[in-house]
């Protein structure tokens, strides 16, 4: 550790569901193959809002007190033992992701570290900001498998959106988007808008975003075809973009039951639906249609190698992150930031917190 580093830092501490407090806490120490990073920007994710509210009791977080936050960017402040051997040095600009997998189970060996079979086991797996302390703080410790070099052309605020951009690219990959496809996206939040860009980057002929309100207006401003889910028959309207046959691929990014079923209804016969939204309640689906029309429904969790692949797409403006940032707050105003995120009247899409 560098002697000049402080011994305490400011951190957002979740004491219980919906009970937040910004406190002085000890600066964590980087262990073997870990780095201590100075967090310059961290963005609020929909999962953060659910976690803070207590929607995943005993799972995310496993216990209290807890520091949330997992979409972040900053620079390396100190190296743990072994980290220098992988080419990292103090001052390197980095963007972080959340899954720090074991690396040895069958899924990890096959490259599906987002599905690590040792998930949550102490010493084997960490998911920062979910099952392990996160980045809503001045400093964060993360393993070297979970940090990626941030190009100089991208700001720290943009870097904090590399993780959600990689998740959006992963759902497009899971959807099997091919050149010339008509792709529908249900949900016009951050992941939905980024997934629409990802689909086009993969060669889709058109991206049709199904949503409502100011977020749908943002989708239109970004140049996507849009369908208002609150008027008329949104399923028919979305299917009409492909001569009434339905979309070749549907990316379900809303995570609410009605949109999950809309996604299945929008898909054409033999189409594919990739779901990344996480419902907090049960969903009843039309299994008969899946069978008779051979519609494929697959899940999409986090990302699996897309962090590096998405960087040049963000650099080139093909996946747009800066355009989605609507608000910025200091860490001391996190309560106001999360209230703004949860307020549909606020116009918030992506909120950046600068510790």
Q: Which CATH architecture has domain 166-299?
A: 3-Layer(aba) Sandwich (3.40)
**pLDDT tens, residue order, the chain (355 aa):** 445 899 999 999 999 999 999 999 999 999 999 999 999 999 999 999 999 999 999 999 999 999 999 999 999 999 999 999 999 999 999 999 999 999 999 999 999 999 999 999 999 999 999 999 999 999 999 999 999 999 999 999 999 999 999 999 999 999 999 999 999 999 999 999 999 999 999 999 999 999 999 999 999 999 999 999 999 999 999 999 999 999 999 999 999 999 999 999 999 999 999 999 998 889 999 999 999 999 999 999 999 999 999 999 999 999 999 999 999 999 999 999 999 999 999 999 999 999 9
Q: CA 287 to CA 295: how far, in whole Å? A: 9
Q: Which residues contact 346 (CB under 8 A, 6 or more apart)?
A: 327, 340
pLDDT for 137: 98
pLDDT for 345: 95
pLDDT for 1: 44
pLDDT for 35: 98
pLDDT for 3: 54
pLDDT for 4: 84
Specify the 3-state DSSP secondary structure of 279: coil
8-161+321-354 and 166-299 in the same fold: no
What does each C-alpha distance from 154 to 117, 315, 320, 322, 329 come to in angstroms? 34, 7, 12, 9, 19
Written as six digits, the tokens of 135 are 């980045």
pLDDT for 147: 98
pLDDT for 281: 86
Give residue 189's region: left, alpha or beta (phi > 0; psi -120 to 50). Answer: beta
Nearest to 264 by CA among 238, 303, 300, 240: 238
* The residue to which tokens 């093909």 are assigned: 318
The verdict on domain 8-161+321-354 having CATH code 3.40.50.2000 is no
Nearest to 95 by CA among 168, 40, 32: 40
6, 41 in Cβ contact below 8 A?
no
pTM as predicted: 0.96
All structural domains of the chain with their residue ranges: 8-161+321-354, 166-299
The DSSP 8-state label assigned to residue 278 in this structure reads -
Q: CA 297 to CA 277: how far, in whole Å? A: 13
pLDDT for 58: 93
């Amino acid at each position: 550790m560098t002697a000049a580093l402080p011994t305490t830092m400011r951190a957002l501490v979740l004491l219980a569901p919906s009970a937040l407090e910004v406190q002085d806490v000890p600066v964590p120490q980087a262990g073997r193959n870990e780095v201590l990073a100075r967090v310059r920007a961290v963005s609020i994710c929909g999962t953060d809002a659910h976690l803070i509210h207590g929607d995943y009791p005993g799972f995310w977080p496993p216990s209290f007190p807890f520091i949330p936050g997992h979409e972040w960017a900053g620079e390396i402040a100190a190296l743990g033992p072994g980290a220098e051997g992988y080419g990292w040095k103090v001052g390197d600009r980095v963007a972080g992701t959340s899954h720090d997998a074991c690396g040895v189970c069958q899924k990890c060996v096959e490259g599906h570290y987002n599905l690590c079979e040792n998930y949550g086991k102490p010493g084997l797996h960490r998911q920062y900001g979910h099952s392990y302390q996160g980045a809503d703080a001045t400093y964060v410790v993360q393993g070297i498998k979970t940090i990626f070099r941030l190009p100089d052309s991208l700001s720290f605020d943009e870097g904090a959106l590399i993780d959600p951009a990689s998740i959006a690219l992963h759902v497009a990959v899971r959807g099997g988007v091919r050149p010339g496809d008509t792709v529908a996206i249900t949900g016009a939040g951050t992941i939905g808008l980024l997934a629409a860009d990802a689909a086009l980057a993969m060669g889709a002929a058109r991206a049709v975003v199904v949503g409502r309100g100011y977020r749908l207006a943002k989708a239109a401003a970004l140049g996507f075809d849009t369908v208002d889910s609150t008027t008329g028959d949104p399923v028919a309207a979305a299917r009409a973009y492909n001569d009434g046959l339905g979309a070749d691929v549907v990316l379900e990014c809303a995570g609410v039951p009605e949109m999950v079923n809309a996604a299945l209804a929008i898909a054409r016969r033999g189409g594919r639906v990739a779901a990344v939204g996480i419902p907090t309640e049960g969903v009843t689906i039309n299994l008969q249609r899946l069978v008779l029309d051979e519609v494929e429904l697959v899940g999409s969790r986090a990302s699996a190698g897309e962090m590096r692949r998405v960087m040049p797409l963000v650099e080139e403006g093909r996946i747009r992150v800066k355009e989605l940032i609507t608000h910025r707050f200091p860490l001391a105003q996190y309560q106001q930031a999360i209230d703004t995120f949860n307020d549909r009247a606020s116009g918030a899409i992506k909120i950046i917190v600068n510790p």
